[in-house]
Structure 1
């Protein structure tokens, strides 16, 4: 996931896991949705809800 500024310069290059965990910090309701996304991803399929919550 790339976060760009108005001039399309890359500000941050986040992995899916970093972006998901960041979303959890921003919204208390994001945890379940983020967990679904992470666990459905082939890269992070082994991650369980508890691991995301603890992170």
Structure 2
């Protein structure tokens, strides 16, 4: 799941209703992270991809 970092609290209103985001880090689903309003008001942090480490 992606995370967003909110510096200034905001309210997202979409088809699902209203959702308040306080300042701080939030784990959200992909649809929320891709929403244009969230993109404008928060920093979206993509989930880290795990890579296999090889012994050498």
Q: Which has the higher strand share?
A: 2
TM range (shorter): under 0.3
TM-score by length of 1: 0.26
Q: Relative contact order: is structure 1 or structure 2 higher (C-alpha 8 Å, sep ≥ 6)?
A: 2
Query: As a proportion of its length, which structure holds more helix?
Result: 1
Higher gyration radius (CA): 2
